[in-house]
């Protein structure tokens, strides 16, 4: 009997790690003809994955500006409803150089002022849909779907505007559609761009968020699956023995290593100073008789030279193990992961004693391996940006999901780093961190791909 066909829509590279480099395809192909509808620069045929490449998508000229207006109007709506100005902190300063950007900003401002309610936002979404249906891009997508006749379309992330036309074409042809909310902090940021029949979320907690921020979506459209991003942590085939990992990356086998996980320059403009403070603390501990080093994993989208001085000053302590990502273009979403990075990340965690960072989801990666996390929670003296503060970061909505403050150890000043590292070196498990992981993503963490396919199967 002929297998039913499922299109996996990759509108950008964000979905590569979750749905190409995981076991998602291998699970799906057992029962379905799985085809990647691929808008990334990578050739998936190298993995022997069936793919159909996008022709260059050209949106309606007004689509992107209306999308930006919807985001701003949604943040204003949420701020009013919740009586909470945290939503204003998700806004980025717009580019105001040139007459075109000034006009775009004026339109976005008008939308924000006049459509910041549920009815107005839905009106704008319908307007985008009407505009996109008029494009040659939509017509090409529809013709392709009529030719290929898939039974289900799954979009790997909810925010790319280029996914609107393909999903509209599918819905107009009565093909069921679904999308995945790709990150734990996305929903409060109002970056839900696509509309589908079903929505896959990480947890019951995220489901409640989706219902709160998007009352147009009903309970039976939301499916709790977990996220495939943690599945490689359970894949023993990519585990490296300590001596192999240390030899591959030039680590000293006599040392224990802590991991410093970097942030992007927008999230943490002073990250290089925090790394420097951590290296000083490790030097202090080594003077007391410890034998420690630092594995520095920079943020995959940070290609700046801002860490160079610290890496040179503390080259006897810090070993950079860079993420295996490739820079294709200039935007953050054009820096794309390579398959090897799963191996690098997982073994960095396995062979580190703990992780230090500023508010990243690496707390969950380390919690899976029962290892502690230290969150940076102080401002440096000579900040790069005067209006930036750690206080802004930890007020973001997604941190309110913490079951308690004890999920991590809080570094309140640079003088406390050494003591906190020393205290946490002996910790094997943090029950509160495990509770947070269990709240944030459906358990068992390793079965997210399986749950997604089980739901698709129930609809075909």
What is the per-residue pLDDT across 244-257, written as a single tens digit (0 to 9) for each? Answer: 999 999 999 999 99
pLDDT tens digits for range 24-33: 999 999 999 9
- CB-CB contact of 89 with 396 (8 Å): yes
Residues 140, 125 share a domain? no
- pLDDT confidence band for 330 (50 / 70 / 90): low
- CB-CB contact of 306 with 284 (8 Å): no
Residue 268 structure tokens: 């943490």
Among 107, 129, 151, where does a domain finish? 129
- pLDDT confidence band for 334 (50 / 70 / 90): low
Q: Would the pLDDT of 153 be above 70? A: yes
Which residue did the predictor score with more confidence, 47 or 214?
A: 214
Q: Would the pLDDT of 237 be above 80? A: yes
Closest CA relative to residue 446, chosen from 371, 351, 369, 373? 369
For the residues 430-448, what does the mean pLDDT come to?
A: 94
Q: Cα–Cα distances in Å, from 301 out to 232, 264, 375, 439?
A: 21, 7, 20, 28
- pLDDT confidence band for 435 (50 / 70 / 90): very high
Percent of the chain with pLDDT over 70: 98
Q: Would the pLDDT of 19 be above 60? A: yes
Q: Look up the domain containing 174 and give its range.
A: 4-59+135-227+445-458
Sign of CA dihedral 424, 428, 433, 435: negative
Residue by residue, what is the 3-state secondary structure of the chain? CCCEEEEEEECCHHHHHHHCCCCHHHHHCCCEEEEEEECCCCCHHHHCCCEEECCCCCCCCCHHHHHHHHHHHHHHHHHHHHCCHHHHHHCCCCCCCCHHHHHHHHHHHHHHHHCCCHHHHHHHHHHHHHHHHCCHHHHHHHHHHHHHCCCEEEECCCCCHHHHHHHHHHHHCCCCEEEECCCCCCHHHCCCCCCCCEEEECCHHHHHHHHHHCCCCCHHHEEECCCHHHHHHHCHHHCCCHHHHHHHCCCCCCCEEEEEECCCCCCCCCHHHHHHHHHHHHHHHHHCCCCEEEEEECCCCCCCCCCHHHHHHCCCCEEECCCCEEECCCCHHHEEECCHHHHHHHHHHHCCCCEEECCCCHHHHHHHCCCCEEEECCCCCCCCCCCCCHHHHHCCHHHHHCCCHHHCEEECCHHHHHHHHHHHHCCCCCHHHHHHHHHHCCCCHHHHHHHHHHHHHHCC
For the residues 206-212, what does the mean pLDDT come to?
A: 97
Residues 324, 205 share a domain? no
Q: Would the pLDDT of 426 be above 90? A: no
Instruction: For residues 153 and 138, give the distance between their C-alpha atoms in angstroms, rounded to a whole number.
Output: 15
Residues 147, 118 share a domain? no
- CB-CB contact of 201 with 225 (8 Å): yes
Supply the pLDDT for residue 124: 97
pLDDT tens digits for range 167-186: 999 999 999 999 999 999 99
Residues 306, 205 share a domain? no
pLDDT tens digits for range 52-87: 998 889 999 999 999 999 999 999 999 999 999 999
Instruction: For residues 348 and 186, give the distance between their C-alpha atoms in angstroms, rounded to a whole number.
Output: 26
Residues 96, 49 share a domain? no
Among 89, 106, 129, where does a domain finish? 129
| β partners of residue 153 | 7, 177
For the residues 420-436, what does the mean pLDDT come to?
A: 89
Supply the pLDDT for residue 415: 96
- pLDDT confidence band for 382 (50 / 70 / 90): confident
Closest CA relative to residue 430, chosen from 376, 375, 370? 370
For the residues 414-428, what does the mean pLDDT come to?
A: 92
Q: Would the pLDDT of 1 be above 80? A: no
We report the CATH number of the domain holding residue 252 as 3.40.50.2000
Supply the pLDDT for residue 428: 73
- Give Cα 160 to chain centroid, integer Å: 13
Residues 346, 277 share a domain? yes
Q: What does the mean pLDDT of the chain come to?
A: 94
Residues 76, 12 share a domain? no
- CB-CB contact of 38 with 12 (8 Å): no
Q: Would the pLDDT of 323 be above 80? A: yes
Residues 268, 168 share a domain? no
Supply the pLDDT for residue 36: 96
Residues 308, 296 share a domain? yes
Q: Would the pLDDT of 332 be above 60? A: no
Residue whose pair of structure tokens reads 């709240």 in the numeric block: 439
- CB-CB contact of 400 with 206 (8 Å): no
- pLDDT confidence band for 42 (50 / 70 / 90): confident
Residues 393, 258 share a domain? yes
Among 109, 129, 149, where does a domain finish? 129
Residues 372, 340 share a domain? yes
Q: Would the pLDDT of 373 be above 90? A: yes
Residues 257, 216 share a domain? no
Count up the domains in the chain and report the number: 3
Q: Would the pLDDT of 302 be above 90? A: no
Percent of the chain with pLDDT over 90: 83
Q: Would the pLDDT of 333 be above 60? A: no
pTM above 0.75, yes or no: yes
């Amino acid at each position: 009997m002929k297998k039913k066909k499922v299109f996996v829509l990759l509108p950008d590279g964000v979905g590569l790690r979750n749905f190409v480099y995981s076991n998602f395809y291998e699970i799906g192909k057992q029962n379905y003809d799985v085809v990647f509808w691929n808008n990334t620069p990578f050739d998936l045929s190298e993995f022997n994955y069936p793919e159909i490449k996008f022709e260059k998508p050209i949106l309606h000229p007004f689509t992107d500006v209306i999308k930006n207006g919807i985001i701003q109007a949604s943040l204003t709506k949420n701020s009013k409803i919740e009586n909470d100005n945290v939503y204003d902190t998700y806004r980025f300063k717009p580019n105001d150089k040139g007459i075109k950007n000034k006009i775009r900003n004026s339109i976005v401002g008008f939308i924000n002022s006049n459509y910041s309610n549920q009815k107005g936002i839905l009106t704008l979404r319908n307007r985008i849909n009407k505009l996109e249906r008029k494009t040659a891009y939509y017509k090409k997508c529809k013709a392709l779907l009529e030719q290929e006749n898939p039974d289900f379309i799954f979009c790997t992330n909810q925010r790319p505007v280029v996914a609107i036309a393909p999903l509209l074409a599918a819905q107009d042809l009565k093909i069921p559609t679904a999308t995945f909310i790709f990150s734990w902090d996305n929903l409060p940021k109002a970056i839900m761009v696509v509309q589908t029949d079903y929505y896959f979320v990480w947890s019951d907690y995220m489901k409640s968020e989706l219902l709160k921020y998007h009352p147009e979506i009903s309970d039976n459209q939301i499916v709790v699956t977990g996220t495939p991003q943690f599945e490689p942590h359970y894949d023993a085939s990519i585990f490296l023995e300590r001596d192999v990992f240390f030899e591959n990356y030039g680590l000293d086998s006599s040392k224990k290593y802590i991991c410093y996980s970097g942030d992007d320059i927008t999230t943490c403009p002073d990250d290089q100073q925090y790394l420097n403070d951590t290296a000083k603390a490790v030097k202090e501990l080594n003077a007391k008789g410890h034998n420690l080093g630092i594995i520095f994993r920079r943020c995959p989208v940070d290609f700046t030279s801002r860490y160079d001085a610290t890496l040179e000053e503390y080259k006897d302590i810090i070993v950079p193990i860079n993420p295996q990502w490739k820079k294709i273009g200039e935007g953050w979403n054009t820096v794309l992961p390579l398959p090897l990075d799963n191996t690098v990340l997982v073994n960095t965690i396995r062979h580190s004693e703990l992780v230090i960072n500023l508010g990243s989801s690496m707390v969950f990666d380390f919690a899976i391996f029962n290892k502690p996390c230290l969150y940076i929670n102080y401002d440096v003296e000579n900040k790069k940006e005067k209006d930036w503060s750690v206080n802004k970061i930890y007020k973001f909505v997604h941190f309110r999901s913490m079951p308690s403050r004890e999920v991590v150890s809080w570094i309140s000043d640079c003088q406390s780093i050494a003591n906190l590292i020393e205290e946490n070196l002996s910790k094997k498990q943090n029950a509160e961190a495990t509770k947070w992981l269990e709240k944030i993503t459906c358990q068992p963490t390793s079965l997210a791909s399986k749950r997604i396919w089980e739901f698709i199967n129930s609809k075909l």
